[in-house]
Amino acid sequence: MRTLIIIVLIAISGSLFSQNIKDSIEIRRGLGNSFRYQGKILLPQKLREIVSINLEAARETKIARTNMVVATIFGVAGGALVGYPVGTALGGGKANWTLAAVGTFAVLVSIPFSVAYNSRTTKAVRIYNQGIRQTTQAKKLDFELGYTPDGIGVRMKF
């Protein structure tokens, strides 16, 4: 009976992992990527906080943050420069279309920085998730049935 219980334990245990799949960050693709951790949407600050345990991922998020700041500056400035002449024209005034052209250029400049932000952030999440999987695989439990000084027994390695 004892032998049967040991064999059943070995059969059902297979590979036990110390970390759960929920510890990884899920990437959802869309117009801009969104990230979920344990079912909750992550804001950029929280994402940086979570991936900071992995130095390579933290470096990527730092570069991504710089890209986001530059994209925001150009995007907001460009939007204002486009919006002012359009608002003036809609209000019946004489619009300065040169200002709108400069604003359009600024918005176009912000696009590559926004794409770089999404790319770097996604890369950081992949690096973090890969690190979690490697840690999980490194902490694998292994059961062996074999001879011990007292007879037949189960040896657990981790």
How far apart CA 49 and CA 106 sit, in angstroms, is 31
Mean pLDDT of the chain: 81
Instruction: Record the tokens describing residue 62, joined without a space.
Output: 């730092």
What's the pLDDT score for residue 139? 53
Q: How far is CA 74 from CA 31, 32, 148, 149, in A?
A: 19, 17, 70, 73
By the 10 Å C-beta count (0-12 exposed, 13-18 middle, 19+ buried), 25 is classed as buried
Beta pairing partners, 147: 152
What percent of the chain has a predicted confidence (pLDDT) above 90? 44
Local structure of residue 30 (DSSP, 8 states): S
Mean pLDDT along residues 97-117: 95
**Could you read off the pLDDT of 45-96 as tens digits, one per residue?**
888 898 888 899 999 999 999 999 999 999 999 999 999 999 999 998 898 9
pTM (predicted TM-score): 0.67
Amino acid of residue 83: G
Q: How far is CA 77 from CA 14, 67, 69, 83, 95, in A?
A: 58, 15, 12, 10, 17
**pLDDT-derived band of residue 141, with 50, 70 and 90 as boundaries?**
low
Residue 102 contacts residue 53 (beta carbons within 8 Å):
no
Bigger pLDDT: 91 or 3?
91
Own/partner pairs, 70-76, CB within 8 angstroms, 24+ separation = 70/110, 70/113, 71/110, 71/111, 71/113, 71/114, 71/116, 71/117, 72/110, 73/110, 74/106, 74/107, 74/109, 74/110, 74/113, 75/106, 75/107, 75/110, 75/114
What's the pLDDT score for residue 90? 92
